Amino acid sequence: MSITLNDVSKRFGTKTLFSSLDCTVSSGECLVVTGRNGSGKSTLLKIIARLLKPSSGRVEIRADKTLLRHFEQSLPYIGLISPELAFYDQLTGGENIGLLARARGLEPVREDISRALRAVNLENFSNKYLATYSTGMIQRLRFALLSLIDPPIWLIDEGLSNLDSDGQAMVLALIEARLKQGHLIAMATNGQSEVAYASQIIALP
Amino acid sequence: MLPKSSLYRSITAILKKDFLNELRSYYALSTLIMFILTALSSLSMSLGGITPAPHLLAALLWVILFFSAMAGLSRVFAQEADAGTLFTLKVYALPQAVYFGKLIFSFLLLAGINIILLPLFILFFNIDSPRFLPLLGILLLGSAGLAAVSTLTAAMSAQARGRSSLFTVLTFPLILPQFLSAIRLTGTILSAKPPTTGETLFLAGYAVAAITAGSLLFDFLWSD
C-alpha cells in the first residue's frame, strides 16, 4: 500500500489551511501530521480518507501497483478513527463494532469481536449499552473497531485523547504491532509519544 | 468491485442496526402511530359518521399516509446526523448498503403502518364490504415508491437547517405523479371496481424507477 500527496492544498473560503503538501508513505511506515489547533490536521486525514476533496492537488492511494481512483475503491483499505466518530447509544459495545464491521462487508464471528474488545480491555463491557460508556471507553472502542476491521491503512486522529496511562500504553503497543505487520499508519497529533513512530512528519503551519 | 455477498451482508447490517435502534427507542414508530390515530380520529369526528364518496376516501387515506411518512421517515437520516453517526457510516459502511438498508427499513416501517392504518380506516369510515387485499397491495406498491424517494430526500436534507420542512418540500413534487395515480387506483377499488392494469403498472414502474434513480444518485450525494 502507498499514499502519495501531490501538491495538496485546502482552502475554506478565503482562508488557506495548508498548501503544496508533497509526500509518499508506504506499508510499514508512519506519517505523523503535527500543527497547532485549527491548522488542518484532521482535515488532511479526511482528505486522505477521501471524505473531503482537496482544493488543489491530488491524493493517490495504491494497493500494490493498482491506483485506487474512487472513494468506493479505497474504502475497504482504510479505517479512520477520530473524536468525530460516534457510536450508537441504543446498541451495546459489541453490537456497535460487530454491525459496523458487517456494514463494511466483513463477516466477524463472536470470537473476533471478543478478541478485538479484549485487546483494549473492554471485553467485560461487551454487552453494556454505549450510553453507559465513559469517553475513555469510547476511545478504546474506536480502537477495537479498527482492530476488528484491520484495514491495511489506519488513519488516527488524536488517538491518545481521553485515555488514561494504561490506555495510552495499550494504543501505542497496538500501533507498534501494526507497523511491524506492515500496516500504513497516518496520525494527526501533537503528542511526542506518537511522533516517536514517525517515518515522515508533516508540520502544518 | 465488492462481491455480492459483501453488499448483502452490509445491507443486512444497516437494516439490523436500524431495527435494533428503533425497537429500543420506538421513535419513528411512535411518531407514525400517533400521527395516524390523531388524523383518523379528527377526520372521522369532523365528518360525523358520514362515509364520503370513494375518491374522496382514497384521497383522505393517501393524505394520512403521506403526512405520517413525512413525520416519521425524515428521522431515518436525521437521527444519524443528530447522534453524529452519519460520519461513522460514511467512514465504515458501503454507500449502496446505506441506501438499500435505509430504503428497506423505511419500506418495512411503512408496510407495518399500512397494516395498522387500513383496518382502522375501514372501521373509522364505515366502509362496507372493503376489498382488503387489493387495497393493501396498492398501499404497499405506493409505499415502495414513497420509501425510495423519501430515502434520497431524507439523506439530502439530513444536515440542513429546517430539515423537516425541506424534507417535505423536496419529497412532495417527486412523489406527486405516483400520489395522484395511487389515489385514482385506491378510489377505483373502493368503488368496488377491479384495479386498472395501466394505473397498477404505472405505480410499479414508478417504484422501480425511483429505486433505480435513488441508487444511482446516492453515491454522488453520499461522497459530497
Most confident by average pLDDT, A12-16, A21-25, B193-197, B219-223: A21-25
pLDDT in tens, A56-106: 999 999 998 889 988 888 999 999 999 999 999 999 999 999 999 999 999
C-alpha cell of residue A72: 468506493
Measured between CA atoms, how close is B214 to chain A, in angstroms? 17
Residue B2 has pLDDT above 70, yes or no: no
**Please, which residues 46-85 of chain B have a Cβ atom closer than 8 Å to chain A?**
83-85
Interface probe for A, chosen from B1, B91, B104, B220 (most Cβ of A below 10 Å), is B91
Q: Looking at the complex, does the CB of residue A87 fall below 8 Å from at least one CB of chain B?
A: yes
CB B36 within 8 A of CB B116: yes
Q: Looking at the complex, does the CB of residue B216 fall below 8 Å from at least one CB of chain A?
A: no
Measured between CA atoms, how close is A114 to chain B, in angstroms? 18
pLDDT, position B224: 66
What's the rounded Cα separation, in Å, for the pair B61 and B53?
12
What's the rounded Cα separation, in Å, for the pair B93 and A76?
9
CB B65 within 8 A of CB B158: no
Over residues A103-131, mean pLDDT: 93
Over residues A139-165, mean pLDDT: 94
A85, A102, A107 member nearest B91 (Cβ): A85
What's the rounded Cα separation, in Å, for the pair A65 and B109?
46
List of E strands, chain B? none
Instruction: Provide the residue type at A205 as one letter.
Output: P
pLDDT, position B146: 93
For A106, name the nearest residue in chain B, comparing CA atoms only. Answer: B6
pLDDT in tens, B47-62: 877 778 889 999 999 9
pLDDT, position B4: 56
Cα torsion B201, B170, B22, A79: sign: positive
C-alpha cell of residue B118: 387500513
CB A59 within 8 A of CB A7: no
